[in-house]
């Protein structure tokens, strides 16, 4: 979207109108859906995931220049599925795609939409699809799309899910005519995703988002350190002994590592606030937070992902 142009302004107003209309009818949208006109989410802020990032980059070229596919006698995918464990960067990738394609990011958190709107969910989603089609461009992110699984919840929930799936299927089929709209779905339970969604011509490109390996984790740690240092405008970390840190991060995800860095810095805030020494973060500081985090992680996961793990 041209940020400054008149077309951009008109569209922004439409986006606000729709948000207001939906909120008037259905209540607060926060936590259920977000619409970000042109998100700032560089691919470089994502550690590891080389293969997935290459695919995202390729898809962004196609969204910006739809004629590229035509030139090579083929058509772009209409929908992709990002699948992998929780906290590995699926949402980051979807947002990075919208950022690279300079397009609107419609973030629909499917479980929250269903639990809030039950039978009305289909209508809410229909309104969003209508706007996306009117705009003619955008990334429609169906986050945690496995929540549409029909074998879960009460009869009412299942009925609502059925209607919601049908709405999404109909819209996916209509989207064939739009070469600058892409549906991106995510799941940490690919086995539970409705197979009708993952059929040819619909969401037919699957991209794995695996747990990070050692080198990936090192990149992720550095990314989050650099982010904090950028915000603080100064150096915050000593040279770290990554070998001993990484040895303690078995099975950790990007989200875990980000949380460890956040907790390490929070401890510094606490120390300085209570008049303690304000020294740079050391390897030992991080190792200590990793141990603390490991102890509470199980509880955090149960709360965050409920029955998923
Ligand atoms: N590969 C990664 N590189 C950098 N940070 C990551 C990565 N994966 C996860 N994170 C951190 O964890 C947070 C949650 O990641 P997210 O993309 O929401 O995971 P998912 O959608 O796969 O559950 C991100 O906001 C980021 O801080
Ligand atoms: Mg996510």
Q: How far is the CA of 255 from the centre of ligand 1 (A)?
A: 5
Residue ranges matching CATH 1.10.8 in the chain: 214-308
Is the CB–ligand 1 distance for residue 138 below 6 Å?
no
* CATH 3.40.30.10 matches 6-208: no
Residue ranges matching CATH 3.40.50.300 in the chain: 6-208
> Which fold is adopted by the domain 214-308?
Helicase, Ruva Protein; domain 3 (1.10.8)
Distance between CA 135 and CA 68 in Å, rounded? 21
pLDDT for 6 equals 61
pTM score, whole prediction: 0.91
Residue written as token pair 């699948």: 83
pLDDT tens string, the chain, 309 residues long: the values are 444 456 678 878 888 888 888 889 888 888 889 989 889 999 999 999 999 999 999 999 989 998 888 898 988 888 999 999 999 999 999 999 999 999 999 999 998 988 888 878 888 899 899 989 988 889 999 999 998 875 566 777 677 778 888 999 999 999 888 989 999 999 999 998 989 999 988 999 999 999 999 999 999 999 999 999 999 999 999 999 999 999 999 999 999 999 999 999 999 999 999 998 889 999 999 999 999 999 888 777 777 666 444
Distance between CA 95 and CA 114 in Å, rounded? 22
Distance between CA 6 and CA 2 in Å, rounded? 8
Ligand 1 atom closest to residue 48's alpha carbon, by position in its atom list: 1
Q: CA-CA-CA-CA torsion for 185, 29, 16, 174, nearest 10 degrees?
A: 30
Q: How far is the CA of 155 from the centre of ligand 2 (A)?
A: 27
Is the CB–ligand 1 distance for residue 141 below 6 Å?
no
Q: How far is the CA of 6 from the centre of ligand 1 (A)?
A: 35
Distance between CA 40 and CA 63 in Å, rounded? 17
Pocket probe mutation, ligand 1, options 144, 187, 254, max atoms within 8 Å of Cβ? 254
Ligand nearest to the CA of 88: 1
Contact 100, 203 (CB under 8 A): no
């Amino acid at each position: 979207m041209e940020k400054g142009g008149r077309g951009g302004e008109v569209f922004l107003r439409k986006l606000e109108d729709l948000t207001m209309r939906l909120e008037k009818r259905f209540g607060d949208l926060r936590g259920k859906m977000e619409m970000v006109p042109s998100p700032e989410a560089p691919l470089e802020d994502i550690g590891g995931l080389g293969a997935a990032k290459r695919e995202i980059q390729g898809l962004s070229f196609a969204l910006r220049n739809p004629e590229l596919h035509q030139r090579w006698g083929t058509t772009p995918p209409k929908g992709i599925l990002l699948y992998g464990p929780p906290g590995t960067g699926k949402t980051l990738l979807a947002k990075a795609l919208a950022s690279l394609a300079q397009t609107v990011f419609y973030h629909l958190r499917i479980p929250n939409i269903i639990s809030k709107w039950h039978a009305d969910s289909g209508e809410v989603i229909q309104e969003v699809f209508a706007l996306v089609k009117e705009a003619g461009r955008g990334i429609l992110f169906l986050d945690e799309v496995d929540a549409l699984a029909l074998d879960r919840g009460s009869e009412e929930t299942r009925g609502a899910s059925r209607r919601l799936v049908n709405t999404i299927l109909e819209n996916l089929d209509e989207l064939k005519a739009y070469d600058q709209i892409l549906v991106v779905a995510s799941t940490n339970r690919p086995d539970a995703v409705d197979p009708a969604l993952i059929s040819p011509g619909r969401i037919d490109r699957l991209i794995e988002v695996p747990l990070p390996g050692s080198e990936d984790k090192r990149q992720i740690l550095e990314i989050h350190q650099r982010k904090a240092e950028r915000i603080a405008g100064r150096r915050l970390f000593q040279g770290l002994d990554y070998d001993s840190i990484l040895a303690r991060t078995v099975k950790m995800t990007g989200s875990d590592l980000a949380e460890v860095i956040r907790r390490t810095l929070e401890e510094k805030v606490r120390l300085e606030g209570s008049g303690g020494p304000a020294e740079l973060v050391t390897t030992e500081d991080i190792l200590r937070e990793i141990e603390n985090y490991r102890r509470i992680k199980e509880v955090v996961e149960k709360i965050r992902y409920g029955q998923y793990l």
